[in-house]
Amino acid sequence: MEKVIVGVSGGVDSAVALILLKNQGYDVEGLFMRNWDSTINNDVLGNPNDLDDICPQEKDYNDALELCNSLHIKLHRIDFIKEYWDYVFTYFLDELKKGRTPNPDLLCNRYIKFDLFVKHAMDLGADYIATGHYARIKNGKLFRAVDLNKDQTYFLADVRPENFRNVLFPIGDYTKDEVRKIALDYNLNVARKKDSTGICFIGERNFQKFTQNYLKPNPGDIVDVKTKEVIGRHNGLMNYTIGQRRNVGISGYSDRHYVCGKDVEKNILYVAFGSDNEYLESDSCIIENVNFISGLRPTFCTAKFRYRDKDHPVELEYLENNEIMVKYSGGASAVTPGQACVLYLGEECLGCGFIKSVYKNNEKLWYLAN
């Protein structure tokens, strides 16, 4: 009997993954990963759970343990707290310092869930590993989930292709409603548990306060990108995202306005006025550190620049140093350095790169942190 070790998070998706694999006749065991410790990591400001008697990670572990006991499945536990800090959180902080928009979930999948977790599971004798991700694997290739609203291939696009060889995604062929129904039919303890949100393995935080645990705010000028006039003061570039329209920090202006850029060296936050989004528009970008899961290298495909983004038709020009020029026209707004550009060919997720610089009419957008 082939052995599968499932990453059990204490949530409903991984719980149903256990059920499905057990019903398919696999020898199933669970593995709970603890990758964040609020005490060790000085996670005080912005933490809504700071005064709780038991931290959310331990609550999740208790839920996972109760689940596995009810299903007569062995549950292992491993801590990757140091590794998460070294490989994921340090990157997150470094990107914020550069004025970029990081996505730690992609790094979490690349270095923790589909690297360290895989290696540990194999040491425990696993033939396969499985998780509760909404995605599908076919012959080592990554495809979108049946439930496109829950599809998580965007976050999996930076995983090394060799680390998908022995991976199963049992719930990729199910909708979220179907997964909930299975959990309810089996009367699982986590059947009605809410989905986790926020930063991977950390959870929901007041972002502005949370980052102050690790980075000292550096207030500076807010500048009108068109007139170059100083119109206000910001409380640290890390607290703003490109395209942000609320709580920008300027008063006395009735016109609509939005964050359109950052200059880290001069510590300037650029703001544009109007509803035409002129300063959020671009038509090409260069992506770096490209990771291809697929063997395909198309000239034309589609791309997503954010998780909830639509598919944009793009043309790819392959450059040196593992970089690609991605060309697009119309509809792509707030394409931002640091974000992942994930490439698709139909249902297949080809891989991704991280946005290095952004252009319009062959000119680099000077007001972005390129």
Predicted confidence (pLDDT) at residue 198 exceeds the cutoff of 70: no
Predicted pLDDT of residue 47 = 73
pLDDT band at 211 (very low <50, low <70, confident <90, very high): confident
pLDDT in tens, 122-169: 999 999 999 999 999 999 999 999 999 999 999 999 999 999 999 999
Instruction: Give me the chain's average pLDDT, please.
Output: 92
Predicted pLDDT of residue 200 = 67
Predicted pLDDT of residue 348 = 98
Least confident segment among 14-18, 137-141, 145-149, 247-251 = 247-251
Per-domain boundaries in the chain = 3-207, 217-278, 281-364
Name the residue with higher pLDDT: 342 or 42: 342
Predicted confidence (pLDDT) at residue 3 exceeds the cutoff of 80: yes
Alpha-carbon span 332 to 329, nearest angstrom = 7
Predicted pLDDT of residue 43 = 77
Predicted pLDDT of residue 57 = 83
What are the catalytic residues?
A: 108, 200
Predicted confidence (pLDDT) at residue 108 exceeds the cutoff of 80: yes
pLDDT in tens, 260-279: 999 999 999 999 998 778 89
Predicted pLDDT of residue 38 = 82
pLDDT band at 50 (very low <50, low <70, confident <90, very high): low
Question: CATH for 217-278?
Answer: 2.30.30.280
Predicted pLDDT of residue 330 = 76
Predicted confidence (pLDDT) at residue 320 exceeds the cutoff of 90: yes
> Percent of the chain beyond pLDDT 90?
79
Predicted confidence (pLDDT) at residue 182 exceeds the cutoff of 80: yes
**Among the four given CATH numbers 3.40.50.1000, 3.10.20.600, 3.40.50.620, 3.90.230.10, the one describing domain 3-207:** 3.40.50.620
CATH architecture, domain 281-364 = Beta Barrel (2.40)
